[in-house]
Amino acid sequence: MIPKLLLYFIFITGVWVNAQNQNPDNILKEGKLLYRLEKGSWYGTDHMLENFPNKNDSIGGYLSYETPHNKINTIFFSRFDSNKILIRYEFDSIPKPEPSKIDSLNRNATLLEKNLILMRKDASSRVYSNKDQFFTFYENTALNFIPVISKKERAVFIITGPQVSGVVLIGNDYKLNYDNNNKFVNKKKIHNSILQFPYRSENDKSPITTTFHSHLITEFISSTDICTLLLYKDFLEWEKHYVIHKKEVSIFDLKNETLFTMKKKAWDKINNHEENKK
């Protein structure tokens, strides 16, 4: 039986510990990269479905990556030969709906594209075979795979997206790590569960101004949280999201795309002061 989504006000437990990224600046940078990659995939998919319907049955998968010039490329590779690219899009650094370039002629995958495709295919196979029941699947959701190769690591991030409108999902996200030969190393859950947040309040007189969830282990907001919040920010009436940990509080400003952190003790003092003023 597939579990139903948890309500948005339930706390969520973070379980992923990665010392390298336990730095707010690194988390924000990685979150914005994941957002740009996923946004490129959204726009590339929309354009492909509308303009190349004859290629649909030949597509084996898609992915996005950042170019040396900070552009975002989105590729769709063949299901018959994953080293063959059916369509290659180029988007601006922060993707806009219309691609700046479309290439359906240069069909050979580059070395970078081949590596990313290998990682994505391996991750997809592991997830959907789910031999050890590590991954969780929820009704009315889909898993999105974001392979990333950087100087420091090779990984595939997996985020859960809704297949119904009006809600944002936080959680049920994963990270699969690979070595320099694209061999699988390990997998980690970034959150233990999943939360559902509405775009807006059902009561016009009482709008949602902020949302939050809590982490028990990881001190800061995750990069996948930031990615998801940025993907949906244009649809939301709320502009701030808080992540509460026993030591740290993360405050992500969706409008300005900034991350501010403070000690939980300082946070408690401020709240206590405000309560005493009432």
Q: Please tell me the predicted confidence (pLDDT) of residue 272.
A: 80
Q: Please tell me the predicted confidence (pLDDT) of residue 271.
A: 81
Q: Within 10 A of 105 (CB to CB), how many other CB atoms are there?
A: 7
For 41-97, write each residue's pLDDT tens digit.
999 999 999 999 999 999 999 999 999 999 999 999 999 999 999 999 999 999 999
Question: The tokens of 35 are what?
Answer: 């957002």
Q: Distance of CA 224 to CAs 42, 57, 213, 220, Å?
A: 16, 30, 14, 12
Does pTM top 0.95 for this prediction? no
Crossing angle for the helix pair 223-232 and 24-51, nearest 10 degrees? Answer: 50
CB 59 within 8 A of CB 40: no
For 195-244, write each residue's pLDDT tens digit.
999 999 999 899 999 999 999 888 999 999 999 999 999 999 999 999 99
Rounded to 5°, the CA angle 29-159-195 comes to 105
Q: Please tell me the predicted confidence (pLDDT) of residue 7.
A: 38
Largest Cα separation within the chain, whole Å, is 68
Question: The tokens of 184 are what?
Answer: 């699988």
| For range 131-158, the mean pLDDT | 97
Phi and psi for 191 in degrees, rounded to 5?
Answer: -130, 160
Looking at the chain, how many residues does it have?
278
Q: Quick one: CA dihedral 60, 62, 68, 72, positive or negative?
A: positive
- pLDDT category, 275, cuts 50, 70, 90? low
Pick the closest to residue 194 from 162, 157, 234 (CA basis): 162
- pLDDT category, 20, cuts 50, 70, 90? very low
